[in-house]
């Protein structure tokens, strides 16, 4: 089996968790390459909802090793809370199942404090972050002040690194009236994590290399979405890591040629949490209807997600930046019965039609979307098992989307459960055994 990279092509919450979980049985390893517990990935198994934040979405399949790369930032308390919750639900998540890179950076107690302060100070211009300390942890990484998971192996080094970082932060914290930082107390807390986290720590680059040399295949899992990428997203309304495909190589220590294909997870409409421009946003009752039908509330923060029509300009851009060759289209069932469905095919800026998604976010904030209206589908898509049973107007919607974004739709997701899936390409039957999935679900 070839290795596959799976990532979101919009502003996150495209349904990556469901699709990664569905694909996992075909892979020996699922490896996340960026982000932290800002992610919220929902997987439903026979009516039971499981939300993953830091642990890769392959964890529910016992034979799979889940890897957390050097590109992530880890809050030890959040990591062990998630492990504890999983184990309480009967999902093994010990060191035999989860490997954490020694190069991953740790979220330290000053990170969420600094983030809340920074968000408040921005006022109207706040990013609307998850306030988990993610951004400030990456700031310290770039400032070369970060504490890495591997530093837990030597308590002398750990104490020194924490003391150095606190010495750098202290004057700023004091000047802005933020709580005092006690380096020794922070050291004691993290020394406590050292023993617990130790067994999980590995040289992930070497581990993946060995596994691949043995013939095992890897599913690279992106969190957030392409439009939240630090470089290629709607800066500054982005997350602080490289969520695009390029991030997988640096975030795991693998060569780019180990990525054999890129599957984009794309919602049949658009959502966004937090601030930032959103050309096709529906700030209306219809938008709220879609939010309610799609259960569009943040899996991490519970915040309502902003909803709007499908934006083909944005998704085409995401497909280009990531080399997406196939798409899994999720949540079209939410649009059933809504009448005709507009799709954004272009942007006008000051009357001029733009050739592509603009890198200037201030320009994006002012574009006027152009729409093409497509016939909707009154029929529910739930329970559709094969492509032939999909409504004609929905098949046409898929065809138009494929043309607009320049990528083929290979998978259609029609509901939250694994079995609510239609495969549009025969070759996928070697990866996803839907008959087995349906039999396990009693369908
Ligand atoms: P992720 O962050 O990309 O993993 O996505 P989230 O889990 O944050 O949000 C996606 C939401 O849509 C979750 O509540 C999923 O259970 C749900 N979902 C995924 N696929 C489908 C689908 O095809 N139809 C419907 N109705 N819900 C879906
Ligand atoms: P998944 O993996 C949707 C958004 C936040 C905010 C911006 C920066 O579930 O798709 P951060 O805390 O990361 O510094 O916040 O990014 N954001 C997400 N939006 N889904 C996510 O993850 C997100 N992770 C971060 O709302 O706008
Ligand atoms: Mg999510």
Place of tokens 């959040």: 78
DSSP one-letter code for 152? G
Ligand 3 mean position to 426 CA, how many Å?
A: 29
Q: Which one of the ligands is nearest to 277 CA?
A: 2
Residue with the smallest CA separation from ligand 1 atom 13 is 42
Which position has the higher pLDDT, 142 or 440?
A: 142
Instruction: Name the percent of the chain lying above pLDDT 90.
Output: 93
Q: Where in the chain is the domain with CATH 3.40.440.10?
A: 4-97+203-441
Residues with CB under 6 A from ligand 1: 8, 12-18, 40-42, 44, 294-295, 299, 330-331, 333-334, 413-416
| 385, pLDDT greater than 90 | no
Specify the ligand 2 atom closest to the Cα of 8: 10
Query: Could you tell me how far CA 64 lies from the centroid of its own chain?
Result: 19
Active site residues: 13, 41
Quick one: pLDDT at residue 430? Answer: 81
Q: Look at residue 1 and tell me whether its pLDDT is greater than 80.
A: no
**Residue 186 pLDDT:** 98
Mean pLDDT confidence for 53-57: 98
- Give the three-class secondary structure for 68: strand
Q: Kindly tell me if the per-residue pLDDT of 439 is higher than 90.
A: no
In tens, the pLDDT along 394-436 reads: 999 999 999 999 999 999 999 999 999 999 998 888 888 888 8
Buried b vs exposed e over 257-294: b needs ≥16 C-beta within 10 Å?
ebbeebbbbbbbbbbbbbbbebbbbbeeeebeebbebb
Mean pLDDT of 89-109: 98
Q: What is the mean pLDDT of residues 260-274?
A: 97
Is-above-0.85 flag for pTM? Answer: yes
Residue nearest to atom 21 of ligand 2 (CA): 224
3-state secondary structure 393-429: HHHHHHHHHHHHHCCEEEEEECCCECCCEEECCHHHH
State the pLDDT confidence band at 301, using cuts at 50, 70 and 90: confident
Ligand 2 centroid to Cα of residue 10, in Å, is: 11
Give the residue-averaged pLDDT of 276-303.
Answer: 94
- Report how far ligand 3's centroid is from the alpha carbon of 300 (Å): 7
What is the third-level CATH fold of 105-199?
Adenylosuccinate Synthetase, subunit A; domain 2 (1.10.300)
Q: Compute, in angstroms, the gap from residue 183 CA to the centroid of ligand 2.
A: 30
Instruction: Please list every protein residue whose CB sits less than 6 Å from any atom of ligand 2.
Output: 8, 12-13, 38-41, 127-130, 132, 134-135, 223-225, 228, 239-240, 273-274, 299
Question: How many angstroms separate the alpha carbon of residue 13 from the centre of ligand 1?
Answer: 7
Question: CA 278 to CA 366: how far, in whole Å?
Answer: 10
Q: What is the mean pLDDT of residues 249-277?
A: 97
Among protein residues, the one with the nearest Cα to ligand 1's atom 10 is 15
Where does the pLDDT of residue 252 fall: very low under 50, low under 70, confident under 90, or very high at 90 and above? very high
DSSP state of 127: -
Prior bond of 236 cis (ω within 30°):
yes
CB crowding 113-126: b at 16 or more within 10 Å, else e: bbbebbbeeeeeee
> Mean pLDDT, to the nearest integer, of 232-244?
98
Angle between helices 110-122 and 134-142 (to 10 degrees): 110
Task: Note whether 138 and 145 are within 8 A (CB).
Answer: no
Is pLDDT of 266 > 90? yes
pLDDT at res. 429: 83
Q: What's 4-97+203-441's CATH class?
A: alpha beta
């Amino acid at each position: 089996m070839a290795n596959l990279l799976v990532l979101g092509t919009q502003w996150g919450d495209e349904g990556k968790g469901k699709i990664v979980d569905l694909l996992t049985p075909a892979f020996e390893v699922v490896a996340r390459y960026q982000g932290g517990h800002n992610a919220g990935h929902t997987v439903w198994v026979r009516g039971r909802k499981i939300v993953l934040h830091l642990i890769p979405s392959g964890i529910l399949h016992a034979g799979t090793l889940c890897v957390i790369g050097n590109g992530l930032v880890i809050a030890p308390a959040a990591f062990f809370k998630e492990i504890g919750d999983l184990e309480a639900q009967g999902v093994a998540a010990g060191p035999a199942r989860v490997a954490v890179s020694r190069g991953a950076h740790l979220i330290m107690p000053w990170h969420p404090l600094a983030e809340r302060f920074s968000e408040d100070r921005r006022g109207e211009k706040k990013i609307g972050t998850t306030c988990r300390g993610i951004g400030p942890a990456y700031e310290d990484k770039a400032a070369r002040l970060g504490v890495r998971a591997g530093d837990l192996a030597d308590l002398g080094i750990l104490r020194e690194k924490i003391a150095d970082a606190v010495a750098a932060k202290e004057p700023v914290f004091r000047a802005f009236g933020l709580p005092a930082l006690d380096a020794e107390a922070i050291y004691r807390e993290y020394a406590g994590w050292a023993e617990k986290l130790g067994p999980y720590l590995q040289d992930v680059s070497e581990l993946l290399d060995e596994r691949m040399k043995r013939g095992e295949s890897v599913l690279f899992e992106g969190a957030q979405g392409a439009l939240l990428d630090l470089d290629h997203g709607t800066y500054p309304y982005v997350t602080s890591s490289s969520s695009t495909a390029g991030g997988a190589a640096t975030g795991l220590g693998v060569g780019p040629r180990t990525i054999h294909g890129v599957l984009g997870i794309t919602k049949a409409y658009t959502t966004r949490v937090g601030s930032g421009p959103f050309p096709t946003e529906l700030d209306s009752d219809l938008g709220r209807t879609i939010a309610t039908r799609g259960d569009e509330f943040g899996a991490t923060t519970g915040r309502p997600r902003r909803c709007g029509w499908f934006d083909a300009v944005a998704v085409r851009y995401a497909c280009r930046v990531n080399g997406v060759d196939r798409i899994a289209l999720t949540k079209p069932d939410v649009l059933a019965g809504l009448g005709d469905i507009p799709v954004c095919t272009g942007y006008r800026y000051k009357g001029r039609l733009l050739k592509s998604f603009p890198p200037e976010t201030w320009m994006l904030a002012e574009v006027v979307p152009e729409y093409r209206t497509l016939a909707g589908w009154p029929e529910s898509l739930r329970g559709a098992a094969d492509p032939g049973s999909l409504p004609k107007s929905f098949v046409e919607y898929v065809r138009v989307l494929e043309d607009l974004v320049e990528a083929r739709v290979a998978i259609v997701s029609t509901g939250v459960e694994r079995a609510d899936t239609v495969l549009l390409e025969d070759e996928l039957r070697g990866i996803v055994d839907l008959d087995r999935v349906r039999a396990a679900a009693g369908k």
